[in-house]
């Protein structure tokens, strides 16, 4: 609540080093109120007691640490979000592997859907010719 109040009035000129608001104070230029929500740039800032649950929800898909961090960093702001994401054992096991080049063409293929200008394309990559 103090952060919201400071965003609508004025921040103190300094905070004690032990204050829980220190992280917010350092980012005070980027904190605003929009649609009655506390925002960090264009991301929602959640109350401290909700952060663990929000990160858990972002991480439910277990896309891997890099993708989960990217997803979270587009919509929510939590201090130390990177270190929180690294604690997920499932995601840490899903890190991308460096695959070796196959011995011959068509041995290892990757297929994905690509959306471009309103159309859907099927993209196929042969790891041999990559």
The pTM of the full predicted model, rounded to 2 decimals, is 0.57
Length of the chain counted residue by residue: 130
Shared domain check, 121 and 90: no
Domain that holds residue 40: 1-45
Q: Residue 120: its pLDDT value, please?
A: 92
Q: What are the pLDDT digits (tens) for 51-95? A: 888 877 877 776 777 777 788 888 888 777 777 777 766 666 666
> Is 122 a residue whose pLDDT tops 90?
yes
Q: What are the pLDDT digits (tens) for 24-43? A: 888 888 989 988 898 999 89
Partnered with residue 71 across adjacent β-strands are none
> Is 12 a residue whose pLDDT tops 90?
no
Shared domain check, 64 and 92: yes
Shared domain check, 28 and 16: yes
Shared domain check, 36 and 5: yes
Shared domain check, 60 and 38: no
Shared domain check, 24 and 14: yes
Element (H, E) at 96: none
Q: Residue 94: its pLDDT value, please?
A: 62
d(CA 10, CA 30) in angstroms, rounded, equals 13
What is the tally of structural domains in the chain? Answer: 3
Shared domain check, 33 and 2: yes
């Amino acid at each position: 609540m103090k952060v919201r109040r400071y965003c609508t009035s004025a921040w103190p000129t300094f905070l004690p080093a032990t204050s829980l608001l220190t992280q917010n104070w350092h980012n005070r230029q980027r904190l605003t109120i929009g649609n009655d929500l506390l925002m960090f740039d264009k991301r929602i800032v959640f109350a401290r007691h909700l952060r663990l649950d929000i990160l858990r929800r972002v991480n439910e898909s277990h896309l891997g640490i890099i993708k989960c961090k990217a997803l979270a960093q587009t919509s929510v702001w939590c201090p130390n979000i990177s270190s929180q994401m690294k604690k997920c054992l499932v995601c840490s096991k899903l890190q991308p592997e460096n695959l070796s080049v196959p011995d011959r063409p068509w041995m290892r293929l990757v297929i994905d859907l690509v959306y471009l200008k309103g159309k859907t394309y099927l993209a196929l990559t042969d790891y041999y010719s990559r």
